[in-house]
Every structure is written in C-alpha cells, then in structure tokens.
Amino acid sequence: MKPIVFAALMLAQVPSPTETKLGLWINGAQVGTGVQTERFLPEGNKSTVLTLEIRPEQNGSRVRQETTVDAKGRATRKIMEIVSGRSNRKLIIAELTATGAGVTITENGKTSKQVIPVSDQVPTENPSEFWFRTTKPKVGEKAVYYGFDMSELRWRLEEVVYEGQKTLEFNSRKLSGHQLKVRDGIALVDEKGRPLLIRTPGVEMAIEPAS
C-alpha cells in the first residue's frame, strides 16, 4: 500500500475534533472566554487544548494549556503558555514519563530546565480521560492517579469520582449532565465528555449558550 493511501486511511479512522466555547467567571464576574478542543490521535492517544482570553479589552492575558495522553490516559506531554500584556510570555513544556517530568521553562528570553521525579511504583494513568468518550463509568467509580501540576511544577495525588447525572443552575440557566468530583470542585460534562460547567472556589467556566 502506498504511504499516502495508508496515511489517508489512518486519518479516516480518527474522529473529528470537538470544540466547546466557554465563558470564564471569577468571583461571579465574567472576565473572559475560552475554547476547549479535544482531538483523538492515532493509536488511541488524545490531545486536549484549552485557550483562555482574560480581560482582552484591558490588554489582559491569554493562557493556553495543552495535554496529550496515551491510550491508558497517562499524560505524556503538557504545555502551558501565558502571554500577559503585549510582550510578556512564559512557556512551560513538560515531557512526562513513568519516572518523572522533564520541564523546560522559557521566560523573558531565558530558558531553564529541570527534572522532577516521580516513583515508577505509583499510578500515572487517568482512565477518566476517556469517560463518556469511549467508556461509561458506573456511579461511584473512581480514578486515582498521580498527575503533574503545571502551575506548581510538582506531582500531585488526584482523584476523580463519577457522582451520576445532575442538574445544576448557573446564571439563571439549568445545565444537565454527568457530574464528576475533582480536586477543589466539580465538573459537569455531557454525553461525549465535553464540559458544561467547571466549578472551583472563586472560579467557574460554563459552556456558552447556543446562539
């Protein structure tokens, strides 16, 4: 089989990316908007990109976060880019393995590198990455794993619990979906795992109303 034909067949088996438009609220006031794009890759891998525009009318900031996971939900690469004002840019790239994170930080034209280890005896696979995409969890099902925190640059023990179907109110709207309990808050997702509402202390993201 010719390489170009094989590549076309592989691409045909990969679902189209899903895009979700979100609003960002801090302490009850809307301060920005965001777009989450989720794309399935060959060999069962998945890429999720969240881009937030915060107070753009005040020349605020833009935050871009990208996570690539393998077919078992283990993160293999994370990227976080923060652009403040017109010229301040910070880029963090973490290459993740079962034994640690190789982190490269570029800021103000300077680059630094560090390795942050994790025990290869602890779980780093997060099966909830595929809940409502390729699998459906049972109520009460948990995903317990060590994830790499890009804000704090450290490994953290995480737990995601499926709490069942819920209806929540946000800004006079009722949002119905599957509720997940996560660190410091909850996430409400639809039948395909797309976010409807993410609620943590002081910060909320909600799907934009259909126009």
Span 134-172, pLDDT tens digits = 999 999 999 999 999 999 999 999 999 999 999 999 999
- Give CA torsion, residues 184, 52, 14, 131, to 10 deg: 10
With respect to residue 52, please indicate whether it lies within any of the assigned structural domains: yes
Position 8 in a domain? no
Whether residue 77 is contained in a domain is answered as yes
DSSP three-state, residue 5: helix
Does 40 fall in a domain? Answer: yes
Q: What would the pLDDT profile of 34-89 be if each residue is shown by its tens digit?
A: 999 999 999 999 999 999 999 977 778 999 999 999 999 999 999 999 999 777 99
**Residue 59 near residue 85 (C-beta atoms within 8 A):** yes
Answer whether residue 3 is part of any domain.
no
Residue 174 has pLDDT above 80, yes or no: yes
Q: Is the dihedral of CA 192, 145, 155, 202 positive or negative?
A: positive
- Evaluate whether residue 74 is within a structural domain: yes
Between CA 14 and CA 189 the distance in angstroms is: 22
Dist CA 1 CA 177 (whole Å): 44
Identify the domain containing residue 183 by its residue range. 13-207
Residue 4 pLDDT more than 50? no
Count: domains in the chain: 1
Residue 49 is assigned to a structural domain of this protein? yes
Of 80, 90, 88, 17, nearest to 51 (Cα)? Answer: 80
Tell me whether residue 4 is in a domain. no
